[in-house]
Structure formats: C-alpha cells, structure tokens
Chain A
Amino acid sequence: MTTKGTEVTVRAFTLEDLKRILVEVAGADEDMGPDAEILDLGFEQLGYESLALLETGGRIERDYAITLADDALHAEVTPRELIDAVNNLLSAPAV
C-alpha cells in the first residue's frame, strides 16, 4: 500500500496476481492461454472447480484483508469480474 499526498491509493489487484494465486492454491496444469482469452471465460471453463475457487477466495481475502461476498467466486464468474470485485473492495473507503 502506498500513499500519495493525503489520499490513500490502494494497490490494485491484477490478472498477474490472480494467476499467481491460482497456481499456488489450485496447482498448475498446462498454460492457461493468452490473457486476453482467459479474462472473460468462466472459472469452470478454465478448469477450476469449486474447492479450488474457495481456496483462491480464502487466499485473496487473507492477502488483501478483504471479505468477498459469498457469490463473488463461483463456476460462472470470470477472472475479469473477480478482479473488478476485488478492486472495488480495495478502493472502498475504510469504515
């Protein structure tokens, strides 16, 4: 986390971050494919089953100190949607 002036700019969550976590918690198989292609495929299509996604969600929650909604991560969610959801939580004002 870096500060810029008085405003808090929160570290963004990127596709690279997501890919790193997926490999760590769900295991690597073959190359997932070009970034442009995987961003909008559902996780199930990308070969991640429910437990791998729960494990991924838990890891993101711990690493980024956020709490994802129960439906933020399931078979039909795409990496782009998850990345957006995480970034929305990261940029939300602290309460």
Chain B
Amino acid sequence: MTASAVVTGLGVAAPNGLGTQDFWAATRAGKSGIGRITRFDPARYPSQLAGEIPGFAAEELLPGRLLPQTDRMTRLALVAADWALADAGVRPADLPAFDMGVVTASASGGFEFGQGELQKLWSKGSQYVSAYQSFAWFYAVNSGQISIRNGMKGPSGVIVSDQAGGLDAVAQARRQIRKGTPLIVTGAVDASICPWGWVAQMAGGRLSTRSEPARAYLPFDDEASGHVPGEGGAILILEEASAARRRGAKIYGEIAGYGTTFDPRPGSGRPPGLRRAIELALRDARLEPSDVDVVFADAAALPDHDRVEAEAIGAVFGPRGVPVTAPKSMTGRLYSGGAPLDLSAALLAIEEGLIPPTVNVAPSPGYGLDLVVAQPRPARLRTAMVLARGHGGFNSAMAVRAL
C-alpha cells in the first residue's frame, strides 16, 4: 500500500487575507483584495489593478538579518512556512533533520529584487550589484531559505511550470513522502508586482485593462477580458498519514490524486490536455467523477481559455454536473502561488461545508457550468478538485479528500 500524504498545516498569504483565518473569513464572505496598484504608480500602464497583500510587516515577523537578502516573495514564503508549521503543531528542531524536506514552486523568482539590482548594474556599475543577487532572485530561493530557517535536510526541490507549478510542487512533495520522507513543506508564493515584473506580465497580452476592480477579472463571464495578477500563495505541511495520526495531528485532508499533461503544439489540431489531466487525477485517486463535490477552476478569464476549461469540466463531470468556483476572482491570479491557495481554500471549504463564491461574475450560459457566484453555497463536501494551467500548455489537476 502506497503511503498516503495528508495536509496537516496551512500558511496563507493572500491579497484578501493574511493568515488562514483572515483569508477564509474574507473568502467565504466574497470579500475581494483587488484594487489599484499602490506599490508603484501604475498611471502610465494600460493595466492598473492587482491583488496586493496589505499590511505585511516583514520586519516584525522575520529576523532583521534576513531582510536585506530577501525579495518580498521570499519573506512572504518564510512567514507562511512559519505559520503552516505552527498550525501543524510541528517544531522542526524536535525532528530529525533528514526527515523533513522542502518542495516549492516558483514562476518568476524574486523579480522585484532583481529589478533593483539590474538598475544598479546599468545606472551605476557592476560593482554596485549586491552579493545577495546571486540567489535572492532565483527560482530556488524559497526552498533554500525555508530549509535553512527550519533546519530541513531531507529531499528538497523546486518546480517551475507557471501557474501549474503550484500543483506540480505538491505532487512532488507527495512523491517524496511516498519514498519515505515523513514531512515535506510545500506550496508556493509568488510576488512580482514591481514595474519590471508588471511590464513583463502585460506583454503576454492576458491582463485585463479595466479600471474598476469589480469588473476587471471575470472568468466564465461574457465580458471576460483577461485576468488581474496578484501576489502571495500558500505553504502547506504534508505528512505521511500514519505518522501524522500517531502524533495526533489535525488532518485537513489527503492529497488523493494528481494528473498533469501538456497541450499539443499550437496548430496541430489535437485536443487540449486539461480533460486528460482531470481524468488522470481521478484515476490516481480512484475516484469516479460523481465523487467530486466541487471544482476549483483555473479561471483564466480569456474566452478561448475559459471555453477549453468549461469543455473539459463538462466532458468529465457532465453539463452542470459539479459545482465550480473560482475564489481567485477575489485575489487575482497568483502565478505559482495560486493553486496552493486554492488547495487551502478547498480544504477549508470541506471543513466548513461551504463553497466559497466566484465574485462579480455573471456566468455565460454557453459554458454549461454550475458556477457558484455571488453567495457561498453550503454543501456536504468530501472531495474537491483543483485545476491549474500554465502559459504555454501546462495542465495540472489535483484531488483533495477529507479522511
């Protein structure tokens, strides 16, 4: 029997809530964290809205020595990891170092830190570039810093697959648990709301240019016109189930199944891969489609992407066959942080028996989705499916289940 991997701790940093309780209180109530960018003056840019995390005081939460060497995304990740470990009731110092690992995802690394150093390089000269630039911006930095802060010497890793990476990292964490490491810190946090990151995101042509927060990010709506980016994500503590039970840990749920695919080459005429990812996740979890009680959608908010996702969900679960929601309508798309945040929301939804809403959206009837809009929907929930897609063709699906 393959070891089961269960979630025993959550650490959330989201635009609509810092900390799990704040996040869930906002999410179940449909409270959005999207607003006009405050971290720089966005007036000159076509896109001006983002899901920013307000009130994050890193200097009160982390040692001063860590601040000069860390990007915002790493500070958020370190704090979220602290919270997740505390939530799980795990004191890393009490456990054998090789029994703990860290597997995170990253989409774009510490881009704001990188902008600062590139600016020093090109405006002042190479000798002004910081020693910390050698790692503060790179994709592996969050796994490295979390392992150092918590003394975790077991197998670690870093996955980059844009938004899908958030699920791919958790799947890799589950793989390490199955191979025998009892505890893995996993999930992802991204934060690239700096001018340089902003223009790179805009260049993709997938950002909404609407200025009214409630009208900007409208997945599955006839008025869908792109997404709003956000910052943050979630860190999860994954443990081998029997070890978690032995120590009397609270168990949020099990990572029951996972599937990942890549879309065919553009223009090949072959079908997209998202449906197959969902089917693989179901098979991996030994679930029938009817066992799934809610789907947390990727929710790209571009008509052709929404259509592909709606068709995949419809093909697997039937027309209006399963409640679908996109709480990321309240946070924006968080890149690799988005799917771990959805996993957290799914586990909290199961715990409360309440599907959080997709806000501001009037679902297009053409998609045939039972989209939970406006109000949260009470429901008996045991199993949830989270979907995540990355630019270029990455599709991942993950099922979580109450035990």
Contact = CB atoms under 8 A, between A and B. Distances in A.
**Are chains A and B touching directly in their complex (CB below 8 angstroms)?**
yes
Interface of A: 24-29, 47, 51-52, 54-55, 58, 61-62
Interface string B294-307: 00000000000000
22 contacts: A24-B68, A25-B68, A26-B65, A26-B68, A27-B63, A27-B64, A27-B65, A27-B67, A27-B68, A28-B64, A29-B63, A29-B65, A47-B65, A51-B131, A51-B132, A52-B68, A55-B68, A55-B130, A55-B132, A58-B127, A58-B130, A58-B131
A47 B66 CA distance: 12
Contact of A52 (B65, B127, B128): B65
A59 B127 CA distance: 9
A61 B67 CA distance: 22
Interface string B123-164: 000011011100000000000000000000000000000000
Contacts of B69: 27, 51
Interface of B: 63-69, 127-128, 130-132
A62 B68 contact: no
B130 A62 contact: no
Contact of A29 (B64, B130, B131, B132): B64
Nearest to B66: A27
Contacts of B68: 24-27, 52, 55
A26 B68 CA distance: 6
A55 B131 contact: yes
A24 to B, nearest CB: 8
Contacts of A51: 69, 131-132
A79 B37 CA distance: 43
Contacts of B67: 27
Contacts of B132: 51, 55
B75 to A, nearest CB: 12
A43 B216 CA distance: 52
Nearest to A55: B131
A35 to B, nearest CB: 20
A68 to B, nearest CB: 12
A32 to B, nearest CB: 12
Contacts of A26: 65, 68
B294 to A, nearest CB: 44
Contact of A61 (B64, B66, B127, B131): B127
